[in-house]
Structure 1
Amino acid sequence: MTTPVLVYYDTRMLGHNPHGWDPGHPAWTDAVKAMIALQFPGSNLETYSHPERPDRLTAIVDRLMLDPIEGVRWMLPTAASTAQLKQAHDKTYVAHIESLEGESCWLAQDTTAVSPGSVDAAHLAAGAGISAVEAISAGEAQKAFCIVRPPGHHAHSDHASGFCLYNNLAVTAAHARENLGYQRVMVWDWDMHHGNGTQEIFYSDPSVLVVDSHCAAPFYPGSGLLYETGAGAGVGSQINCPLPLGSGNAALLKVFDEVVKPAAKAFQPDILLVSSGFDCHYLDMTCAMDETGFAILAQCMSELADELCDGRLVLLLEGGYNAQALTDSVHAVMKVLAGNPVNACNVLPDDPGCKAVADAVQFHQGPINPACRAKGHS
């Protein structure tokens, strides 16, 4: 049976188009060129193209237009307001980003940058999640997918990093909490990079439970260690699951079965949010997932949402830089959200991530449930 899926997208997000080098920071430029030369020998440094580029989105949209999915409803997001951004970000930082409208510059040595259209794009990317949770709250649908850029999960409360300006998911979660009455928000970040910004923003907040599966340090950004479990009242509400390079579908399914699902049942969320990066796909050359794995993960999360929170589920695009991998994976996920079940996925004969998941489960066996019980959800 077809299920309506709200898909948020706006062509103005293509206006975020950083490229080239920053003449104002020659040391940064030299450092990035050295990093590229080391990782990608033979690359032409003079024609280097920023990996977080507009055609990431156009590739997804083109595929959905050529191979439409019944049940998908295209929606225009409303740009996040300054007040909405300040629910997750420091007011001084928001003012700084807004002051860069129409400018081109780098914000960090990791090539986080802005171009003249970036500020508008960032407001729309953050606003897409808000638009989605508001529509779901109003009963227009239960599921939504936000095709957005710049991505968000590396953006901290007070600084940009990892190609991210505003933390789209954190802004969405804060809005759901503060304006829509959702007392408990649960996040799964399945991007292969640790969502260090999301962790920082909610590290002391017991109302937001964050599960983050990612490539283990020292892989960028080098955080997300097992013992990073929250602080103060939020102890136990950050659950990191670091994985080795080469992890595949079986490892991520094990994360869902043995970490995400039991934590969700203990926490009893009012809504589920996913930082949905697709850079774990084998075509992105670091992990070994494929689109069948992402489809199964989406189906698992959809069923969990149906069981625990009246189906409320929002996915926001994060990473994924190979066009074929990105389009295949997003299309497969949207088919599942629209009510097309899948029964199997490809698995490696020996997935290196499964042992790491077992180690994480053993480590978190103590802190997860006591923290949830402390919130009154045993």
Structure 2
Amino acid sequence: MTATVLVYYDMRMLGHNPHGWDPSHPAWTEAVKAMINLQYPGSNLETYTHPERAERLTAIVDRLMLEPIEGVRWMLPTAATMAQLERVHDKTYVAHIESLKGDSCWLSKDTTAVSPGSVEAACLAAGAGISAVEAISTGEARRAFCVLRPPGHHAHSDHASGFCLYNNLAVTAAHARESLGYQRVMIWDWDMHHGNGTQEIFYSDPSVLVIDSHCAAPFYPGSGLQSEKGAGAGIGYQLNVPLPLGIGNAALLKVFDEVVEPAAREFQPDLLLVSSGFDCHYLDMTCTMDETGFAMLTQRMSDLADELCDGRLVLLLEGGYNAQALADSAHAVVEVLAGSRVNACKVIPEDPSCSGCG
């Protein structure tokens, strides 16, 4: 049975054009090279270009246009306002980012940068999730997928990092809570990098359950230990599942079965949000998932949403830097959101065991 899926995209997000190196910060450049060598041994640093490039979105959009999926409705996001951003970000930080309109500069040594179109793109990216949950709250649809950049889950309340300027998912969750009346919001971040910004923002908040499965430290950003479980009233509402490099479909499905599903049943969310990074895909070289695994994860999250919160499920794009992997994975995910069922996914024999689950 076909379901309506709202797909949010605005080509102005292509105007974000960060640069790979910053000659004015040679020490930062050397730190970035060291980080790349650690994560991707053998990479050619002389031909390195910034991985967070416009092709990430055009690959997804072109595939969805060339192979249209019944039930998809294309939607334009409304840019997030300063007031909406300030629900999760410090006012001084928001003011600083807004002051960079039209500029080019680095914001941190991990190549987080802005170009003249970056601030507009970041406001649209943060607004995409808001637009999606508002449409869902009016009954326009129950599912949405936000094709956006720059990504958001590394953005902290007071600083940018990991290619992220504003924390798109955190802005969405806060809007759902404070403007739309959703009492409990649940987040699963299945990007291979720990969502350290999302964790920091909601670390003491018992109204937002954050589950984060990721490659274990020292893999970037080096956080997300199992012992990091929240603070104050939020203790127990941050669940980290660090996993070995090379994780594949079987490992992430085990995370769902042993962590996500039981935690969701106990928490009883009013809304499910996913930080949907596709960088666990084998074409991104570090892990071994493929699009069939992302399709199965989406199906299980859709079924969970149907059971617990009237089907309300929104996925926001995070990482993923191989164009083919992004196109294949996003298309498979949207197909499932639109009602296609999958019976199985590929299991790769070398997939490490999910020893951190439970």
Normalising TM by the smaller chain, what interval? Answer: over 0.9
- Are 2:36 and 2:43, in contact at CA under 8 Å, matched by a contact in 1? no
1:335 maps to what in 2? 335
- Are 2:199 and 2:238, in contact at CA under 8 Å, matched by a contact in 1? yes
Q: CA deviation at 1:204?
A: 0.1
Q: CA deviation at 1:26?
A: 2.1
2:242 maps to what in 1? 242
Q: CA deviation at 1:18?
A: 0.7
Alignment CA distance shift 1:349-1:26 (3 Å): closer
Asked if 1:141 corresponds to 2:141, the answer is yes
1:324 maps to what in 2? 324
**Number of residue pairs matched by the alignment:** 357
For 1:284, the aligned partner's letter is D
Over residues 68-93 of structure 1, what are the superposed CA-to-partner deviations in whole Å (9 max), with x where a residue is unaligned? 00000000000000000000101110
For 2:285, the aligned partner's letter is M
Over residues 167-190 of structure 1, what are the superposed CA-to-partner deviations in whole Å (9 max), with x where a residue is unaligned? 000000000000000000000000
CA distance in 1, matches of 2:157, 2:32: 25
Unaligned segments of structure 1, at least 5 residues: 362-378
1:266 maps to what in 2? 266
- Are 1:17 and 1:115, in contact at CA under 8 Å, matched by a contact in 2? yes
1:279 maps to what in 2? 279
2:156 maps to what in 1? 156
CA distance in 2, matches of 1:103, 1:9: 24
Secondary structure of 1:355 counterpart:
coil
Aligned-residue RMSD, C-alpha: 1.2
5 Å-filtered alignment, 1:174-323, equals 174-323=174-323
CA distance in 2, matches of 1:350, 1:323: 24
Of 256-265 and 28-37, more deviation after overlay is shown by: 28-37
Q: CA deviation at 1:130?
A: 0.1
Secondary structure of 2:319 counterpart:
coil
- State the 4+ residue runs in structure 1 displaced beyond 3 angstroms: 33-42
Q: CA deviation at 1:25?
A: 1.6
Alignment CA distance shift 1:36-1:222 (3 Å): closer
- Are 1:248 and 1:353, in contact at CA under 8 Å, matched by a contact in 2? no
TM-score by length of 1: 0.92
- Are 2:33 and 2:45, in contact at CA under 8 Å, matched by a contact in 1? no
CA distance in 2, matches of 1:276, 1:353: 22
TM-score by length of 2: 0.98
Q: CA deviation at 1:15?
A: 0.4
1:88 maps to what in 2? 88
* Structure with the largest fraction of helix: 1
Asked if 1:117 corresponds to 2:111, the answer is no
Over residues 206-225 of structure 1, what are the superposed CA-to-partner deviations in whole Å (9 max), with x where a residue is unaligned? 00000000000000000000
Q: CA deviation at 1:34?
A: 4.2
Secondary structure of 1:280 counterpart:
coil
Q: CA deviation at 1:301?
A: 0.3
% identical equivalent positions: 81
- Are 1:36 and 1:43, in contact at CA under 8 Å, matched by a contact in 2? no
For 1:212, the aligned partner's letter is D
CA distance in 2, matches of 1:37, 1:334: 34
Unaligned segments of structure 2, at least 5 residues: none
Secondary structure of 1:240 counterpart:
strand
Over residues 232-275 of structure 1, what are the superposed CA-to-partner deviations in whole Å (9 max), with x where a residue is unaligned? 00000000000001111111011111100000000000000000
2:44 maps to what in 1? 43
1:169 maps to what in 2? 169
